[in-house]
Amino acid sequence: MFNLFKKDKSPTDVTAQAELAAPPEAPALSWTERLKQSLTRTRSQLGNQLAGLFGGGRIDEDVYEELETILLTSDVGVSATQALLEDIRNRVKRQHLDDTSQLREALKQALLELLSPLQKPLDTTTHQPFVIMLVGVNGAGKTTTIGKLANFFQAQGKSVLIAAGDTFRAAAREQLQAWGERNQVHVVTNQSGDAAAVIYDAVNSARAKNIDIVLADTAGRLPTQLNLMEEIRKVQRVIGKAIPEAPHEILLVLDANTGQNAVTQVKAFDDALKVSGLVLSKLDGTAKGGVIAAIAQARPIPIRYIGVGESIDDLRPFNAEEFVEALFS
């Protein structure tokens, strides 16, 4: 037997332990498989109930009513649920559907039509440096998303600079620096405690060094904290003084676990800052992925990326068809 708790670890022991910890047969999953896996809880929340409903039988009012309940309990939200139901009713009429087993495809198509307008990949080639400011409530996943984005852009051959604009939280800078090291990307910090100044410096430095992309972190804040919302508007204005049209993208990061509250956040941050793109993080392990439909209905801001885990590779551009497929397969 191996003694895993031996005090005196040689490098060989460490390797042996790592091999023991990771099942050797676990193959690296493709993105599609990982997306599917990450949506497991949402899918079972939605899918298992739908399976019962779509099992066959006549389409009547009771079926619509049950479908409405299922959508509402899957965080799709009231108005997106109404919109989807209306769309499905029209499809049933138009295509002369009469059996509930045909509703599955109708719902899939209705959902795809609702989500497709959100699929607008971020084009960072319009400016250099292209400045992206990440905003959101505390713990939404902003800093982690920056780490993943740095990796994503570098994989496309782009140079990246990170600005440590979260000057509120004590460990924020260290957390970002760790991501910087992992990506071998420079992290601009300063001790002033002034987020606007840090990001301003980073943008100027990126311009001087011909860097392609600046990722600016900011402190988490609630839309109800009016002084902090005013502060982020100031950060936005100051960045615009370094480069007139910057920030070129204001990315609001949303934790998918927050369900309907994410819709409230989208509205509030958009009203304050004119958000140009969304990141839906933590889709893994949440049963509330249906909130994506609520967002599409309430404020159809492009979902630029989705996050499905804490690793550097757990982020991809949003693809509506891929998402709906993963939800229903």
Ligand X SMILES: Nc1nc2c(ncn2[C@@H]2O[C@H](COP(=O)(O)OP(=O)(O)OP(=O)(O)O)[C@@H](O)[C@H]2O)c(=O)[nH]1
Q: Which lies closer to ligand X via its Cβ, residue 107 or residue 283?
A: 283
User: What percent helix, strand, coil does the chain show, rounded to 5?
Assistant: 55, 10, 35
| DSSP-assigned letter for residue 29 | P
247 binds, among Mg ion, ligand X, none (CB under 5 to 8 A by kind): none
The alpha-carbon radius of gyration of the chain (Å, integer) is 22
Of the pair 50, 283, the CB lying nearest ligand X is at 283
143 near Mg ion, judged by CB under 5 A: yes
Alpha carbon separation from 295 to 52, 218, 301 (Å, rounded): 27, 23, 8
* Nearest to 200, CA basis, from 167, 225, 237: 237
Strand extents, DSSP E, 184-226? 186-188, 213-216
Asked if 19 is part of the footprint of ligand X (rule: CB under 6 A), the reply reads no
Q: Is 129 among the residues that bind ligand X (CB under 6 A)? A: no
- Which of the stretches 73-81, 94-102, 138-146, 292-300 binds ligand X when contact is defined by CB under 6 A? 138-146
End-to-end CA distance of the chain: 42
Q: From ligand X, Mg ion, none, which one binds at residue 144 (CB under 5 to 8 Å depending on kind)?
A: ligand X
Question: Of the two residues 137 and 243, which places its CB atom closer to Mg ion in the complex?
Answer: 137
How many residues at the interface with ligand X, by CB under 6 A?
Answer: 22
Q: For the window 171-190, what string marks contact with ligand X as x by the rule CB under 6 A? A: -x------------------
The secondary structure of 24-59 as a DSSP string is TT-PPPPHHHHHHHHTHHHHHHHHHHHHHHTSSSB-
Q: Which of ligand X, Mg ion, none is residue 62 near (CB under 5 to 8 Å by kind)? A: none
Is-contact 42 327, C-beta < 8 A? yes
Cβ(91)–Cβ(106) below 8 Å:
yes
CA distance 125 to 157: 12
Please say which residue, 143 or 297, places its beta carbon nearer to Mg ion: 143
Choice between 70 and 161, CB closer to ligand X? 161
Cα gap 65→9, rounded to integer Å: 62
Q: Are the C-beta atoms of residues 278 and 269 closer than 8 Å to each other?
A: no
55's contact among Mg ion, ligand X, none, with CB below 5 to 8 A by partner kind, is none
165 binds ligand X per the rule CB under 6 A: no
Minimum distance from residue 284 beta carbon to Mg ion (Å): 19
Residues 238-297 that bind ligand X (CB under 6 A): 253, 281-282, 284-285
Residues that bind Mg ion (CB under 5 A): 142-143
Residues that bind ligand X (CB under 6 A): 136, 138-144, 166, 169, 172, 220, 253, 281-282, 284-285, 307-310, 314
